C-alpha cells in the first residue's frame, strides 16, 4: 500500500475558501508526503479556477509544481453530479458532463490513472435499487467509452444514507457496489472503500472488505465523531471511532496494493497557519503508523 493524501488537507480555511495548490503541495511535501490525490469534488466550488476558461493553464501550473517538488498524483477524485436526476435540463446535464470530463482530463495531465466517483440513485421506481444498478452500469459504461483515450480506471465510492432515512442511496452497501462492478464488467471499473462512510453506516468493515476483495481499487481514509454533523466528520484517523488496526489488517489480508489515501479535510481547517507544518507532519506519521500495523 502507498500512503497519499487528498488535496483538501488544508483546502477549506477560516480566512477563505481556497488554499492555493502550490502552497498545499509544498506543505504536504515538507510533511513527508510524496503522493497526492486531487479532489474535484472540492475544486468545483464557486470561485475555483477549474470552473473558468483558464482551467487548462491552472492544471498545467499544478503539473509543473508537481515536477518541481518531485511529487506524484496517485488516485484522484472526479467531478460528480446526480446524473440520474430527472430534474436536470439537457443544458444542465451537458454542463455537468463537461465538468466531469474536464476533471478526468485534469487528472490525466497530472499523471493520475485512477479516478474515484460516486454512484447515483433512481427514486421514482418501486424497485429503486435494482433500477439504480442498471442505470449506473449504463452511465459508467458510457463514461469508460468517453474517457478511453485517457487510459483511466474508475472506482465507485460507498455512500452513506443515514441522514435521508427512510430513503436509501444506491451504493451504501458493499453488495450493491460489487454487483455494479460485475454488471459493468470492465477491468477499468472497481470500488473505492470509504472507511468513514462504512463506520457511519455501522457496517462490519472487515466483512465488507472481504466481500469487495479484488474489486477494491482505492480507499478514502478518515475518521468521524458523528453520523450527521459535517464539522465532526473527515477527521484524522485515531481521533474517531474507526477500528484502524482491523481495517489495515483486512486490507493486507485481501491483498490490496493500492493507495491508502487520507481524506481529512476537517483536520487542518482550524490550525493557525504557523502550526500547519507540525500538524501535517503528525498527520504523515499517523499514516506511517497505520501502515505499519501487522497481524
What are the per-10-residue average pLDDT scores of the chain (295 residues)? 88 67 92 96 88 96 97 97 96 98 98 98 95 98 97 97 93 98 98 96 97 98 80 84 95 97 87 90 96 78
- Nearest CA-CA partner of 13 in 24, 28, 29: 24
Q: Helix 55-69 crosses helix 21-31 at what angle (to 10 degrees)?
A: 20
pLDDT score for 266: 82
R_g (Cα) of the chain, nearest Å: 18
Q: How far apart are the first and last CA of the chain?
A: 15
- Nearest CA-CA partner of 225 in 199, 248, 262, 193: 199
CB atoms within 10 A of CB 14: 8
| Residues sharing a CB contact under 8 Å with residue 204, sequence separation 6 or more, in sequence order | none
pLDDT score for 114: 98
Return the DSSP state at 247.
H
CATH architecture of 2-291: Alpha-Beta Barrel (3.20)
Amino acid at each position: 500500500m502507498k500512503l497519499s493524501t487528498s488535496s483538501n488537507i488544508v483546502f477549506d480555511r477560516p480566512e477563505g475558501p481556497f488554499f492555493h495548490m502550490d502552497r498545499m503541495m509544498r506543505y504536504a511535501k515538507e510533511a513527508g508526503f510524496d503522493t497526492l490525490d486531487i479532489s474535484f469534488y472540492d475544486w468545483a466550488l464557486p470561485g475555483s479556477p477549474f470552473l473558468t476558461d483558464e482551467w487548462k493553464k491552472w492544471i498545467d501550473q499544478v503539473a509543473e509544481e508537481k515536477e518541481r517538488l518531485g511529487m506524484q498524483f496517485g488516485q484522484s477524485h472526479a467531478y460528480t453530479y446526480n446524473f440520474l436526476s430527472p430534474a436536470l435540463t439537457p443544458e444542465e446535464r451537458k454542463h455537468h458532463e463537461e465538468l466531469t470530463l474536464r476533471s478526468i482530463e485534469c487528472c490525466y495531465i497530472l499523471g493520475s490513472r485512477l479516478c474515484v466517483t460516486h454512484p447515483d440513485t433512481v427514486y421514482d421506481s418501486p424497485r429503486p435499487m435494482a433500477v439504480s444498478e442498471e442505470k449506473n452500469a449504463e452511465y459508467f459504461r458510457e463514461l469508460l467509452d468517453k474517457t478511453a483515450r485517457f487510459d483511466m480506471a474508475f472506482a465507485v465510492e460507498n455512500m452513506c444514507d443515514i441522514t435521508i432515512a427512510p430513503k436509501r442511496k444506491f451504493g451504501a452497501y458493499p453488495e450493491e457496489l460489487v454487483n455494479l462492478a460485475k454488471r459493468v464488467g470492465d477491468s477499468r471499473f472497481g470500488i473505492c472503500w470509504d472507511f468513514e462512510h462504512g463506520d457511519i453506516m455501522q457496517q462490519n468493515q472487515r466483512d465488507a472488505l472481504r466481500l469487495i476483495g479484488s474489486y477494491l481499487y482505492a480507499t478514502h481514509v478518515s475518521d468521524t465523531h458523528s453520523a450527521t454533523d459535517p464539522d465532526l466528520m473527515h477527521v484524522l484517523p485515531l481521533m474517531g471511532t474507526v477500528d484502524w488496526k482491523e481495517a489495515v489488517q483486512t486490507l493486507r489480508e485481501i491483498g490490496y496494493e493500492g493507495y491508502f489515501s487520507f481524506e481529512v479535510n476537517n483536520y487542518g481547517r482550524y490550525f493557525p497557519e504557523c502550526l500547519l507544518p507540525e500538524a501535517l507532519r503528525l498527520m504523515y506519521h499517523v499514516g506511517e503508523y497505520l501502515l505499519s500495523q501487522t497481524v
